[in-house]
Chains A and B, each alone.
Chain A
Amino acid sequence: MSAQTATPGVFIVEDESMLLMLLEDLLPEMGYTVLASAGSVADALAHLSAIAPDIAVVDVNLAGTPSFPVAEALRARGIPFLFTTGYGQEGLPAHYADVPVLAKPFRRHDLDAALARVLSRA
């Protein structure tokens, strides 16, 4: 649990505003607090130095750029995360085999279940 909220704090990394807005709508209903969001690698890394999320939802592809540096930064800080992607699992390097992948478009309960699974493992 993050210090500043009673509900788990989520960090969203998603370049597509429509999907970001959807997550911003859905997550509070599922009992999460959206701490911050970012649409690019640089933006995400800048935010990460200022916040302490309990979990992160990371889009694999940020306007054509892989978000792996963000994933690495999250790992380094021990923050559990899941990937969202339109590519499916095969687009991911082998060392992310243990990271849950949420295929777009995803259903609300898929998101809920994936977040719960990530948090229970953390």
Chain B
Amino acid sequence: MVDRRRAGPGIGNLDVDVDDSAVAHGSRSTAEYRVRLYETILQATPDLVYIFDLQHRFTYANPALLAMWGRTWDEAIGKTCLELGYEPWHAAMHDREIDQVVATREPVRGDVPFNGTQGRRIYDYILVPVIGPDGEVEAVAGTTRDVTERKELEEAQRKSEERLSAMVNATSDLIYRCSPDWTQVQIVGGSALVGNPGILPPDWPATYLHPEDRALVERAIAEAQATQDAFHAEHRVAREDGAWAWVSSRAVPIRQADGTVTEWFGAATDISERRRHDEHQRLLVNELNHRVKNTLAIVQSMALQTLRDCDDAALAADRFESRLHALSHAHDMLTRKRWEGASLDDIVRAAIAPCVQQDTERFEIGGERVELDPQRALALTMALHELCTNAMKYGALSVTDGRVEIRWTCDGVGATRRLALRWEERGGPAVAPPTRRGFGSRLIERGLRHDLGGEVRLDFAPAGVVCRIDVPLAREAGP
């Protein structure tokens, strides 16, 4: 580093014309005084000050410039930029500029990076012509200021703005800003949910907010303004295509140095899909609750009617358990088919499963493929389960040789399509009609007739129980 105070002879070396006729008698002292003043300024300024002669050689360099170069006066004065070690392109640039100043008598301004003793800095410089007494350009003077901090700040700001702009372009959110009182809203970018970027009309709440949500949004704005804290609201906005979209909107206040809010900056996320999902979920839970309540009512009915039917508490418990088990099986079967229905084959096999165990040969099952809706499937499963239970206790399945045939056919097409199913027991003990029809029989005859909307006949024929079910297959049209 070079001490500025010992940098060299200074500007007094120059042939400065300080002649002033008004102070002719004291011209020498006046000139010296001026030189002292200029010298002091030039020594003290952090800016770089210098003069080129017409051969582009430095004839003056102030201490700040010498320090930046890391050279003494004697090392530097009389040399060109190139001779002082400037990069050739840099030296050539200044050569052109000096020539331009001389030729045009106009200043030239520019900025350039330079590696000096303080490292790589950015310099803003201005070159001006020095006009001699004859009116000709006799030298070119220059001042240079280190603007690295300012340039860095500008660059940082530019990058920050670029990042903000990139974020606005990249996000799927709608980015907006509002005046402090929220009367003016500008869509900055992001999602084109409500249209292209721009200022919204002054009546934006009426145009863009769903009527049912307007009060809610206005309350949220008032609260945000009162607390000077983040605004948040979930509401509907009018999309460009006219449909309503649900958004989750958040905005934060932007404050100036004294804390006054100058604007609000916010983002609105389209949550329509989530709202739809939530609504679907709510419906599902509601539907599940309905099914559970309905099933509990069925279980209640089964329990009450089983108890009424049977004086023996242990037997009643057995029967109730068995029915509950059948109901549970039917639910499993329907759940596997997502409660969309079940094939008759599945229904029959689910119903007889508890009776079959390892002994599948005692059943002959067959019929064409036919699908039943969940409610009919459930009813038929429960009825077939009652037939099975009865057959195991009193009928064909109570003896080793007894068999059960379950066969069905479908007739007709479309609205007139009917299902005829026949349960027939053979090889069992001689059947005597029951003295009284219990819950099981009622469930088969009354229940099935109601649920399937057809005819059900249960015959206690001596050779074996026969149950004929004849039902329409087409679902009844809605009201």
- A33-56 to B contact mask, C-beta < 8 Å, 1/0: 000010111110100000000000
Does the CB pair A41–B478 fall under 8 Å? yes
Q: Which residues of A are found within 8 Å of B289, using beta-carbon distances? A: 86-88
Min CB gap B475→A, angstroms = 8
Does the CB pair A15–B308 fall under 8 Å? no
State A15–B478 Cα separation when bound (angstroms).
Answer: 14
Q: Which residues of B are found within 8 Å of A20, using beta-carbon distances? A: 447, 450
Q: Does B442 make an interface contact (CB < 8 A)? A: yes
Contact partner, A18, options B286, B293, B447, B479, Cβ 8 Å = B447
Q: Which residues of A are found within 8 Å of B241, using beta-carbon distances? A: none
Q: Does A22 make an interface contact (CB < 8 A)? A: yes
Does the CB pair B293–A22 fall under 8 Å? no
Q: Does B216 make an interface contact (CB < 8 A)? A: no
Q: Which residues of B are found within 8 Å of A42, using beta-carbon distances? A: 476-477, 479
Q: Does B294 make an interface contact (CB < 8 A)? A: yes
Chain B, interface SS category: helix
Does the CB pair B375–A15 fall under 8 Å? yes
* Interface residue stretch chosen among B73-81, B298-306, B359-367: B298-306
Q: Does A117 make an interface contact (CB < 8 A)? A: no
Does the CB pair A21–B447 fall under 8 Å? yes
- B426-441 to A contact mask, C-beta < 8 Å, 1/0: 0000000000000000
Does the CB pair A17–B293 fall under 8 Å? no
State A103–B476 Cα separation when bound (angstroms).
Answer: 26
Does the CB pair A86–B476 fall under 8 Å? no
- A82-117 to B contact mask, C-beta < 8 Å, 1/0: 000111100100000000000111100000000000
Q: Which residues of A are found within 8 Å of B70, using beta-carbon distances? A: none
Does the CB pair B375–A25 fall under 8 Å? no
Contact partner, A16, options B292, B298, B304, B448, Cβ 8 Å = B298
**Given contacts A25-B305, A87-B290, A103-B293, A18 and B478 within 8 Å (CB-CB):** no
State A103–B300 Cα separation when bound (angstroms).
Answer: 13
Closest to A69 in B: B479
Q: Which residues of A are found within 8 Å of B301, using beta-carbon distances? A: 18-19, 21-22
Closest to B477 in A: A42
- A56-81 to B contact mask, C-beta < 8 Å, 1/0: 00000101010001000000000000
Does the CB pair B298–A21 fall under 8 Å? no
Does the CB pair A16–B294 fall under 8 Å? yes
Min CB gap B19→A, angstroms = 105
- B444-467 to A contact mask, C-beta < 8 Å, 1/0: 001110110100000000000000
State A99–B88 Cα separation when bound (angstroms).
Answer: 99
Closest to B450 in A: A17
Does the CB pair A17–B286 fall under 8 Å? no
State A56–B427 Cα separation when bound (angstroms).
Answer: 47
Does the CB pair B290–A61 fall under 8 Å? yes
9 A-B contacts, Cβ less than 8 Å apart? A16-B294, A17-B446, A18-B447, A20-B447, A22-B297, A42-B476, A61-B290, A63-B373, A86-B297
| Residue ranges of A at the interface with B (Cβ–Cβ < 8 Å) | 15-22, 24-25, 37, 39-43, 45, 61, 63, 65, 69, 85-88, 91, 103-106
- A-B pairs, 7 with minimum CB distance: A86-B293, A17-B447, A22-B301, A41-B479, A105-B297, A104-B297, A86-B290
Q: A17-B443, A19-B301, A87-B289 are in contact. List 8 more A-B contacts (CB 8 A).
A: A15-B375, A18-B301, A21-B442, A40-B453, A40-B476, A42-B479, A86-B290, A104-B293
